[in-house]
Structure 1
Amino acid sequence: MGEHASPETFRRVATTAEDTGFDSLTVGEHITFPEEMSESPFSPSGEPPAHFDIGENTYTTFEVLSFLAAVTDDIGLKTSMCIAPLHNPVELTNEIFTVNALSNGRVDVGVAPGWLETEFDVLNVPFEERGARLDDFLEIFTTACNTPEFAYDGQTYSFDKTGFRPAPERKDGPSVWIGGTSGASLRRTAEFADGFVVVWESPDEISSLRSRALNAWDDYNRDGEPAVGVSRPFYVATRGETTPDRPLMGEPAKIIEDIQAFRDVGVTQFDLAFTSGDPDDQITQLERFSDSVLSQLS
């Protein structure tokens, strides 16, 4: 939201999303934006998004989620994505459990290894350890959801027996989503999570990734199938308005067709990102999407 970010803006957007029928609110994470940015793996040019700037607000994820829990009643709350390797895994587990308890069990957890190497440098976290740190967090978190007292000896963290409370009331705890398309991400999905989330992939690419995820799922003898999420910007245009030729952008009929194409390859959840930082524009887009898209979906 950039310069528009404020408690009142968070409240307006959150309550509008709840009132217009959306399932959840997602909050991303970057702890700090260094002056020097690493190349982005999500951009063909390597350029990071335009709002990645040293002057950008970086509200802390779980404090924002706590605020959103207080100003809403029933809508889900999700991290998409929390950069778990940047955190102490015991403290991060406690933060998630706290918000989950304060929101009466509304939290889902999306985690990713992270890509902004210079951010890791600022926080003095070895970038090359991010995979091992993410695995340790996932093992600690998933264990704590069912066993609130235990000791741990992992790749990057070890501790004597300690407690993890307030423990979640829901069996197995909050749903866990893994961000990424690498073999390691699909393995983590099968080993620890309920599903995985991609960003820019097309339906054909998602179909291939889902097949690989199903193979990993079988390797870990998991029941059912992994859920699949896609995170993309959206924009509902008025009749005749020109928009980029991208999925989930355009007039309602076109967006509905795009959603169906993703559904056909197994996508079960859409994390929608705004194209504007202006809260009035965001509320307009939520209302348009609800009125002309959500109302037509079964």
Structure 2
Amino acid sequence: MLFTLEHPVGQADCHPALYGPEGLPGLAQAAERAGFNAIAFTEHPAPSLKWLRGGGHATLDPIAALGFVAACTTKLNVMPYLLVLPYRNPLLAAKSIVSLDVLSGGRLVVAAGGGYLRSEFGALGVDFDERGALFDEALDVLRGACTSEEFHYRGGHFEARGTAMVPGPVQRPHPPIWIGGNGRNARRRVARYGQGWSPLIASAEMAATTRMPAITTVRQLAEKVDDLRQLVAESGRDPASIDVQVLSPLSDVCNTKTSVERMHDHIGELAVAGVTHFVIRPPAESPSAAIDSITWFGEQFIAGQFNKEGQ
């Protein structure tokens, strides 16, 4: 099992130092020392105040934030989680993605989604009802622009006539693409385009808010992973090559509140279900609280007995 640290900027009590130049390097370097595989930032470029007051959350631009993190780490992978590809022209998205891959030395994993906030689509001038088609278009363009010396593509709202992606990505043929979402369409996209799937174990209420089917238990997740493997095999690819990253109610950890035994059991259950990466969210009230929690988690679950037993 590998672990991704989701940056706590979205937590209501996040200390400003954690997302500023004085605190972010220390947080990222602590995650790297603790053995985390990746650090992740989510995306909401134009949320409404109503959404924020109703339980939404703050964000940084993930490409900018991850570029900063890449500059102050050496091994930690960087991950937008999730990058909403329909929000932007796909060639602009591809340029940002490839640039981050270059500047990170090939440490980028692109966890992408189709988006769910209708008001945000409106604020960005994108048709909400076209998001599925725009998502597929962006995935086509990302792969094509990274692998073609001269890229031609007629999209729904643009036309590429012999464009070139220079410099190209470090990772070939392109950075890994993980598809977010709980529905079968997300798993179909993984089978067609992706190297990973990134669902959520969450309440039915949260699933409804994010406009996707609910996965509320590890058993349900295991059934969906089996379905994913079948879809990938039907596409002529090896199901074992696909990563599965999940966020669950136990992703929020603190060394004074989380039972080590309970977390061990949960991670073991996820591994049996086919999960390869688990998302962790540290406390955010201060840089010291976040770093202490990251260090504790690394000692207990990454470098500790749990991984030594090969689970």
* Correspondence for 1:92: 93
Secondary structure of 2:112's aligned partner: strand
1:50-69 deviation line (CA, Å, top 9, x unaligned): 353xxx4x321111111111
Unaligned runs of 5+ in 2: 1-8, 202-214
1:226-284 deviation line (CA, Å, top 9, x unaligned): 2211023331443xx4xxxxxxxx21121111100000010001122234353222111
Is 2:231 the partner of 1:230? Answer: no
* Correspondence for 2:155: 154
1:99-147 deviation line (CA, Å, top 9, x unaligned): 1111111111000001111111111111111111110010111122322
Identify the match of residue 37 of structure 2 among 7, 15, 23: 23
How does 1:136-285 map onto structure 2 within 5 Å?
136-200=137-201, 201=215, 202-225=217-240, 226-232=242-248, 233-238=251-256, 241=257, 250-285=258-293
Residues 31 and 292 from structure 1, CA distance in 2 versus in 1: closer, same or farther, beyond 3 angstroms?
same
How many residues align structurally? 275
Supply the distance in 2 between the matched residues of 1:94 and 1:158 (Cα, whole angstroms). Answer: 16
Query: Which has a greater percent of helix?
Result: 2
Which AA in structure 2 matches 1:281? A
* Correspondence for 1:113: 114
Supply the distance in 2 between the matched residues of 1:98 and 1:273 (Cα, whole angstroms). Answer: 27
Unaligned runs of 5+ in 1: 39-46, 242-249
* Correspondence for 1:44: none
How does 1:42-121 map onto structure 2 within 5 Å?
50-52=55-57, 56=58, 58-121=59-122
Which AA in structure 2 matches 1:209? K
Supply the distance in 2 between the matched residues of 1:218 and 1:143 (Cα, whole angstroms). Answer: 23
Highest RCO, 1 vs 2 (Cα 8 Å, sep ≥ 6): 2
CA RMSD of aligned residues (A): 1.9
Secondary structure of 1:107's aligned partner: coil
Secondary structure of 2:197's aligned partner: strand
Supply the distance in 1 between the matched residues of 2:149 and 2:22 (Cα, whole angstroms). Answer: 36
* 1:9 Cα deviation from its structure 2 partner: 2.0
Contact 2:110–2:177 (8 Å) recurs in 1: yes
Q: TM-score, normalised by structure 1?
A: 0.86
Moved more, 120-129 or 168-177: 168-177
* Correspondence for 1:135: 136
* Correspondence for 1:246: none
* Correspondence for 2:211: none
Supply the distance in 2 between the matched residues of 1:29 and 1:133 (Cα, whole angstroms). Answer: 17
Secondary structure of 1:293's aligned partner: helix
Supply the distance in 1 between the matched residues of 2:285 and 2:145 (Cα, whole angstroms). Answer: 37
Secondary structure of 2:51's aligned partner: coil
Moved over 6 A (4+): none
Supply the distance in 1 between the matched residues of 2:197 and 2:33 (Cα, whole angstroms). Answer: 27
* 1:13 Cα deviation from its structure 2 partner: 0.7
Supply the distance in 1 between the matched residues of 2:265 and 2:222 (Cα, whole angstroms). Answer: 17
Supply the distance in 2 between the matched residues of 1:10 and 1:265 (Cα, whole angstroms). Answer: 33
Contact 2:230–2:239 (8 Å) recurs in 1: no
* Correspondence for 1:124: 125
